[in-house]
Structures are given as structure tokens and as C-alpha cells.
């Protein structure tokens, strides 16, 4: 990972500390542990180490924990927001990311505690406030989920 003296556009990896400087999500709604292979304006790979301690496993499902599909899509979106944050140099800015659409979403394999979820996101359109990404979630090279999603980053409203 690059250190704080480097230009944010030069980051190719974001650890948890940098992720928290870009997106506002926190426990229990932060679904990525790091982002690697960041290429500004193009994409990156989020990493989520799935553990049995995730709060959603208490109810989904107690005897056979499965990561909810919506949290997998959210993890792809959080990965994309980090890529946008690095690309647009909006580290340490009061920004929020809003979903605008999710298309062609499919779930292929269950994600369970012990899995290392890789969230491959690629920009299909972006550069300004509105971005469209294609995402694929993989475990051990196997496709678990895929989706296209559109989101907007905007300054956090005072209030």
C-alpha cells in the first residue's frame, strides 16, 4: 500500500484505514476488509474475509450460516466506492454513495464463514458523480454472484 505522502491517485491498494477515509460505512455495515489491484477509473478487487461473527449470521441462517446476497452486492458497491474515491481524489471528504440501480443480478454459489470473498469490479461508465460498474464475487475462483450497478457519490448534507 502507498503511504500518506503519495498522491491518492497513485494508490493501488486500500487497507481498512484508507477505506474508512473514503467511505462512511462502519461496523456492522462495512463489508470489505481491503481493496487491491486498484486502477484509477477502471476497477479493483475488494476482499471480504467472511467470519462466523458477522451479525447477519444470527438470523441468516443460525444452523447453516449463509451470507445474504444483498450484502454481497453491497460489498461490490463498497469496493466500487473505494475505487471512485481513489480515482476522484476524494479521500477524507464528507461524501456519501447512493445506489441508483442494480441490473442483471444473479447468485450462483453460497458464501459461508471461512470463505475469502473477492469482489472484482470494473467501471463501465464514470468519471463524474454517476458511475456504472460491473461486479463479480468469487470464492476460490468460483463465481458466487454478479451484478451491474449504478451509484452516485455526493457531498454529505450538513444537518
Query: Which residues are tagged catalytic?
Result: 60
Residue 80 exposed, middle or buried by CB count within 10 Å (0-12, 13-18, 19+): buried
Residue 57 CA, chain-centre distance (Å), reads 19
3-state secondary structure of 70: helix
Burial code (b: 16+ CB inside 10 Å, e: under 16) for 83-109 equals bbbbbbebbeeebebeeeebeebebee
Q: How far apart are the first and last CA of the chain?
A: 35
Amino acid at each position: 500500500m502507498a503511504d500518506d505522502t503519495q498522491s491518492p491517485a497513485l494508490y493501488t491498494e486500500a487497507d481498512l484505514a484508507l477505506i474508512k477515509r473514503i467511505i462512511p460505512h462502519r461496523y456492522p455495515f462495512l463489508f470489505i476488509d481491503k481493496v487491491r489491484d486498484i486502477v484509477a477509473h477502471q476497477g479493483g478487487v475488494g476482499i471480504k474475509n467472511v467470519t462466523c461473527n458477522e451479525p447477519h449470521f444470527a438470523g441468516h441462517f443460525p444452523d447453516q450460516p449463509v451470507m445474504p446476497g444483498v450484502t454481497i452486492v453491497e460489498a461490490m458497491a463498497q469496493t466500487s466506492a473505494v475505487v471512485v474515491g481513489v480515482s476522484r481524489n476524494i479521500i477524507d471528504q464528507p461524501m456519501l454513495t447512493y445506489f441508483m440501480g442494480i441490473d442483471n443480478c444473479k447468485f450462483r454459489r453460497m458464501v459461508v464463514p471461512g470463505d475469502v470473498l473477492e469482489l472484482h469490479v470494473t467501471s463501465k461508465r464514470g468519471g463524474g458523480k454517476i458511475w456504472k460498474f460491473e461486479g463479480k464475487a468469487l470464492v476460490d475462483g468460483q463465481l458466487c454472484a454478479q451484478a451491474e450497478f449504478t451509484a452516485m457519490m455526493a457531498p454529505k448534507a450538513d444537518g
